[in-house]
Amino acid sequence: MKKFNEEHDEKVFELTDSEHVLNLEFYLHRAFLKWQDALESALKQGSNIETGLVNRGLAGDMVEGIAIAKGLVNWEKQPVPKDEGKQRDRILKQNKEAEKFQKIFDEFKKSIESDPNLSKNIKNVKISDFKVFEILKTISKSATKKGTVIV
């Protein structure tokens, strides 16, 4: 990262390194941080908890979108090609994973939506959190046990 305007504010910087600008891992990490801090940030800024819930749900959607774009999770069934081969085998495996996820997700969603004591925002956040935790489980299976924290 290249510092920008070093004389006035050292916290202002410009992203010039393509390693960070177009790196989905960087954006996924930022999305996780936004998701994790959404409720606390809203309360610190004087907003009510409902604003924090909305922000957390939106950040969870961002995590999900980036994880899908990065290919970390495959939650929707894909058409299976007729030709035998590695691609067909991969798609069959992903379709099994999608079915398994969809079954668990549908049961969870049904239990959340049937609870009359939860507000709409809390229901949305619980559903979003469920997806984020599934993404975290997927990442933890293939992640090395050491790394550098980006803040």
* pLDDT per position as a tens digit, 96-138: 999 999 999 999 999 999 999 999 999 999 999 999 999 999 8
Integer Cα distance of 149 and 39 in angstroms: 21
Give the pLDDT confidence score for residue 132 in this predicted structure. 95
Give the pLDDT confidence score for residue 83 in this predicted structure. 84
If one counts every other C-beta atom within 10 angstroms of the C-beta of residue 135, the result is 23
3-class state of residue 25 by DSSP: helix
**Of residues 46 and 3, more confidently modeled:** 46
Residue 150's pLDDT band, with cuts at 50, 70 and 90, is: low
State how far the alpha carbon of 93 is from the alpha carbons of 78, 98, 100, in Å.
10, 9, 11
